[in-house]
Structure 1
Amino acid sequence: MTQSYTLNTGAEIPAVGLGVYRSSPEETTESVETALRLGYRLIDTAAAYRNEEQVGQGLLASGVPRDEVFIESKLWISDYTYDGAVRGVERSLRKLGLDHVDLYLLHQPTPDEFERTLGAWKALTELAKGGQLRAIGVSNFNEAQLQKVMDETGVVPAVNQIELHPFYQRKGLTEFHRQHGIVTQAWSPIGGVARYYTDKPNPEHDPLTHPVVVAIADRHHKTAAQVILRWHLQLSHQVIPKSVKAARIAENFDVFDFTLAVDEMAQIDALDQDRRGGPDPQSISTKTYPFVIPD
């Protein structure tokens, strides 16, 4: 049995989905098709990943009906402003080959250009009324930024997608989400960012190799990745682990047949190092990341 959470729109979002960040166009179509055939029903992409078109192709190739699949994408910062967001959404839909997406996010807060961010958010709120976007949310926002978009528009993001794993647990932010009915969506949920976002991966910075996680996995006859994903689910985090390998895609979905005990959850909770693995969202702007999304 799988699991889902209820968004503030009333829609259900599957608890586990496939992420395609850093998946090449050639890999994306096959991995999406594989995931959907294995039972996944959520795919997360973004304009900045340059593989929206291949996500649409994978969905088509899978044979799974569109209305059974939850598709989400994200607007890149080069399209922030009201008019830019309208164009960016149209481009995403065209590349995906869809008439709507189930969830559409602002990819970064861009604090140095927050008026542009607010303009884009206001556009998403209008597009959501027309049905092109069934739900809207944000990614990498902190508490103050979430409060600002809510205060400016009266619209609460359905989701905030953030870096979140046992070494970076964001407890204050996830509590803010809980208080406001925002679903916490974890990117890099098993700490993969500690491996791919550095030239010198360090086992001490990798939750998959931590003795506590490994011991719990051995006890349940599961992998370390499965234990970490299960920890997320028991905290009501939605997760989007990324893989292009069929065996790993299957492994990451095989997390619904066991439960971590209270003491095991507490042991993983105690691993928090407040260690960010990816870039600081507060440093991201059109000046530091100047690329634009091609049509």
Structure 2
Amino acid sequence: MSNTNMMMPKLGLGTFRLKEQVVIDSVRNGLELGYRHIDTAQIYGNEAEVGQAIEESGVPRDELFVTTKIWLENLAPEKLIESLQESLKKLRLAQVDLTLIHWPTRDASPTIADSMKALYQAQQMGLTKAIGISNFTIEQMKQAIDAVGAQNIASQQIEIHPFLQNEKVAAFAASQGIPVTAYMPLAYGKVLTDTVINHIAQTHSVSAAQVALAWSLQKGYTVIPSSTKRENLASNLDALKVVLSDAEMKQIAELERNERLVSPEFAPDWD
């Protein structure tokens, strides 16, 4: 079975910016509510707390899908595998389900090919079931594909929400059979105040957040919203039940304004 056929739950729990007891409570509540997909990263500084919450939840390991991401300073082949082993210790897991290159390096060394081959080696060692990429441009995706093959890239995780729809990158990923995971799907909460989204929400008697998530889900993306509130975690999960009409999908598509919320100084030159 290729990586792209893996069973990643379509709606997961993001943990970006959540620390210490806050992230423990969020993951615990999420697992109690039925979330089975947890997304973390080395740079979030919360892998140990995520691991604690998972272990204490009592949810069987084979029911969970756990993603982590390799940070920039660990992309060199001689560091990557060791850093992933350290992540596994923190997460209290023998293996994660998916490991991503968090950001492509802008430097000549290590190259994307070097990092992808090291990540593929980690997969062969059994440290991760699947591998993938995050925040890659189309050109960088091509380099990753050349290194390990599109069939071995299980996900491209990129910022996608109604105000930044990233259609070019998403379309290229689809053309290569690479599933897309949308992070920041609620645009730091900005979708909650949008007039169009709220009108659609009223039509369905659901929340604006549920509409935004349903839009991404109907586009075929996996979504990983985060929340510190149990009621919001439950509400987000119910977005799986919301079905938008073609006309409503088109209305949301027209909200595109290239409003990128995540673009650090080391970000690539975006498509």
Decide: shared fold, TM above 0.5.
yes
Instruction: Please state if 1:248 is matched with 2:243.
Output: no
Number of the residue aligned with 1:182: 178
Deviation of the 1:11 alpha carbon: 1.5
CA distance in 1, matches of 2:113, 2:106: 10
Matched, 1:18 2:5: no
Residue 79 of structure 2 corresponds to: 84
Q: Does 1:102 align with 2:86?
A: no
How many Å apart are 1:136 and its aligned residue?
Answer: 0.3
Give the letter for the 2:219 counterpart: L
Matches within 5 A, 1:14-53: 14-53=9-48
Deviation by residue 1:200-239 (Cα, 9 ceiling, x = unmatched): xxxxxx2221111000001101010000000011001100
Contact 1:7 1:182 in 2 (8 A): no
Q: What's the offset of the Cα at 1:154?
A: 3.0
Among residues 258, 270, 280, which one is paired with 2:242 in the alignment? 258
Q: In structure 2, give the amino acid aligned to 1:27.
A: V
1:84-233 alignment, distance < 5 Å: 84-113=79-108, 115-154=110-149, 156-192=152-188, 206-233=190-217
Provide the aligned C-alpha RMSD in A: 1.7
Q: Which amino acid aligns with 2:46?
A: N
- Extract structure 1 runs of 4+ deviating beyond 6 A: none
Cα distance change, pair 262–9 in 1 and its aligned pair in 2 (3 A)? closer
Find the residue that maps to 1:254 and give its secondary structure.
Answer: helix
Shift in Å, 1:158: 1.0
Report the CA distance between 1:157 and its aligned residue: 1.7
CA deviations on 1:247-273 (whole Å, 9 max, x unpaired) are 111111011223101100000011100
Tell me the TM-score normalised to structure 2 length. 0.94
Instruction: Give the drift of 1:280.
Output: 4.8
Give the Å deviation of 1:278: 1.3
TM-score (norm 1): 0.86
Q: Deviations over 1:143-199 (max 9, x none)?
A: 10010121133354211111110000011111111111111111100111xx6xxxx
Consecutive unaligned residues in structure 2, runs of 5 or more: none
Separation in 1 of the partners of 2:115 and 2:20?
A: 27
Contact 2:211/2:242 (CA < 8 Å) preserved in 1?
Answer: no
Q: 1:7 to 1:62 in 2, by over 3 A?
A: farther
Q: State the 1:126 CA deviation.
A: 1.0
Cα offset, 1:281, TM superposition: 7.0
Retained in 2: the 8 A contact 1:8–1:182?
no
Give the counterpart letter for 1:245 in structure 2: K
Secondary structure of 1:64 counterpart:
coil
Q: What stretches of structure 1 of length at least 5 have no aligned partner? A: 1-5, 196-205, 285-295
Letter in 2 for 1:242: S
> Structure 1 270/117 Cα, relative in aligned 2: closer, same or farther at 3 Å?
same
Question: Contact conserved, 1:186 with 1:239, CA < 8 A, in 2?
Answer: yes
